[in-house]
Amino acid sequence: MSLLVQPVIMAGGSGTRLWPLSRAGYPKQFLVLSGNTSLFQQAVARLQKIGGSGATVAAPLIVGNEEHRFLVLDQLRELRIEPSSALLEPIGRNTAPALTLAALQAQADGSDPVLVVTPADQTVTDEAAFTQALQRAIGLAAEGAIAILGIKPDRPETGYGYIRSETAAGAPRVAQFVEKPDLPTAETYLADGGYFWNAGMFVLKASTWLAALERFRPDIASATGAAFAARSTDAKFVRPDKALFAVVPSESVDYAVMEKCPGSGIDIRMVELDAGWNDLGAWEAVWQVAGKDSDGNASVGDAIIKESRNTLVHATSRLVSVVGLSDVVVVETADAVLVTDRERSQEVKQIVNQLGAEQRGEHALHRKVHRPWGWYDSIDSGPRFQVKRIMVKPGASLSLQKHHHRAEHWIVVTGTAEVTNGDKVILLTENQSTYIPLGEVHRLANPGKVPLEIIEVQSGSYLGEDDIVRFEDTYGRR
C-alpha cells in the first residue's frame, strides 16, 4: 500500500522584522525576496518533489490567515497548483493550533498521512539535498517517530532556537530543545558540535501529533477540535468556528509538544539539513542570501551605491542612492523608508510595534493594496479629496456598494469598465468617465479579457476605507 504524504504549508506569519516591505496585509511569505517567485511559492514547489518510491504526495494543505485567502489562491494558480484545502484561521493562535487543524483536516477522509510541515517563509538553495533530507525524515515518521530538521550552525546565531542531539541508531535522537541563546552561549554551542538550529520543519503522522498534543496539552487539543468540528466549508476554504477558535490557547508547536518529548518515551529524531537554508527572518538574512558586488553590497531595484561596503539597498518605487555607508540596510517603499544598521535589523519590529500602537496605516498596508479583484494605489490625498489608481482583473468586479460620506469620479485609462450607477448599467472605454454621487449604489466590473485600469477621484467629508456599505460581494466580504 502506498504511503500517503501530506505537505502542510504554515502561511500565517506576519514578518514584522522585514518592514516596510512586509506588512500585515501583505506579509513576507508572499513577497519575492530571493529568486523569481515568492517564498510561499518556493515552499509549495519544493514539497511537490519529496515523494520517494512507494510514496504518494497529496496536493498541498495550506494553513493561513482569513485575510490572505485570495493571495494564497492567486499565488498557487501562478504555479498551476490546486491545494487540497486552505484552512483559514479567523484569528492567530500560533503554530500548535494551526498544526492541529492541519492534522484534523488530513484525517477527515479516514486516512492517516505523514505530514511534512514547513513554514512558508524560508529559502533553500540546494533542493536536491532538501528533498533527500525530507525523504529520510518521512521514512522515520512512517515508523511512528517525530522527525525534526536541524541546521548545522556556521556562526554563533542568537536569533534561532537550538536542538541538542545525541547519537542513536538510525538517526540522531533529540536530547533537548534550547531557547535562543546569548552570544557567549551560542559560541559554546558552535564549538560543541552537537547543537543544530531548529528550522521549524517537522515530519510526523497526523495521529502522532494529535496523540502527543492530547498527552501534553489536552486543553489545546479539545478546544481546537471543537472549533474544527464546527467548521464551515466553501470550495477549497475550510473555516473553523470563529467564536470557538478565539478561546483556543495560543501556543507554539515547540512549547506545546516538542520540548516535552525528549525523555518522555516519544521517539523524536533529528535529520540534518545541509541545503543552504535561511529563514529570512530579518534584513540581515536577506543580505546574506543576496547576490553581492566585490565590496559586499547588494541591491534590488533602481539603486546606485558608491564607496560603500556590505550594504543592502532595496528600492521599490524610485531611485535610491547611497554614498560612504558600511553594514547598513536601506529599504524604500512608496510610503516609508527604513535605514538601519545591518546587524540590528532584528530590532525593526520595534518600529512596527510603535506604528501599531499609534494606529498608523503603514503598520498593516502598503500604499498599493491588493484585493481579490485586483489592487488600488493611493496616488495623492488632501483635505476632502483622494486620488487612486485602480486595477480590476479580467472577469472580476468590486462589491455592489455605497458610501455615506464621499462621491467618486471614474476615468478609464485602459480596458473596458462595466459601471452600475443606481438603476443604470453602462460600458466605458479608454478616456471615458462617469460620476458616482454620494449615497448612490454602484459597482465597477471588468467584462473584458485584459486588465481594467481607472483613475478614481474621491471627494467628501470622510474618505476612509470603512465607509463602505456592501449589498452584494463575490468574495464573501461584509
Task: Locate 325 and state its grid cell.
Answer: 555607508
Could you tell me if 386 and 458 are in contact, meaning their C-beta atoms sit under 8 angstroms apart? yes
| 255, containing H or E segment | helix 253-256
Provide mean pLDDT across the span 416-432.
96
Provide mean pLDDT across the span 9-19.
89
Q: How far apart are CA 69 and CA 235, in angstroms?
A: 12
Q: What is the mean pLDDT of the chain?
A: 92
Q: What residue spans define the domains of the chain? A: 3-273, 283-352, 368-472
Q: How far apart are CA 134 and CA 453, in angstroms?
A: 45
Provide mean pLDDT across the span 174-183.
89
Tell the burial category of 468 from Cβ atoms under 10 Å away from its Cβ (0-12, 13-18, 19+): middle
Q: Report the CATH superfamily, name and number, of domain 3-273.
A: Spore Coat Polysaccharide Biosynthesis Protein SpsA; Chain A (3.90.550.10)
Report the phi/psi class of residue 246: left, alpha or beta, with left for phi > 0 and alpha for psi in -120 to 50: alpha
Q: How far apart are CA 163 and CA 268, in angstroms?
A: 11
Per DSSP, helices labelled H in 321-453 are 348-357
User: Looking at the DSSP assignment, which residues form a beta bridge with residue 68?
Assistant: none
Q: How far apart are CA 130 and CA 48, in angstroms?
A: 12
Q: How far apart are CA 395 and CA 454, in angstroms?
A: 15
Task: Locate 396 and state its grid cell.
Answer: 472580476
Other C-beta atoms closer than 10 Å to the C-beta of 309 total 15
Determine the residue type at 305: I
Least confident of 32-36, 76-80, 347-351, 363-367: 32-36
The position carrying cell 492567486 is: 74
User: Looking at the DSSP assignment, which residues form a beta bridge with residue 8?
Assistant: 61, 117
DSSP tag of 102: H
The position carrying cell 492541519 is: 102
The pTM (predicted TM-score) of the whole model is 0.88
Confidence of residue 13 (pLDDT cuts 50, 70, 90): confident
pLDDT per position as a tens digit, 323-342: 999 999 999 999 999 999 99
Its CATH class, for the domain covering 368-472, is mainly beta
pLDDT per position as a tens digit, 117-156: 999 999 999 999 999 999 999 999 999 999 999 999 988 8
pLDDT computed for residue 53 by the predictor = 65
The position carrying cell 517517530 is: 145
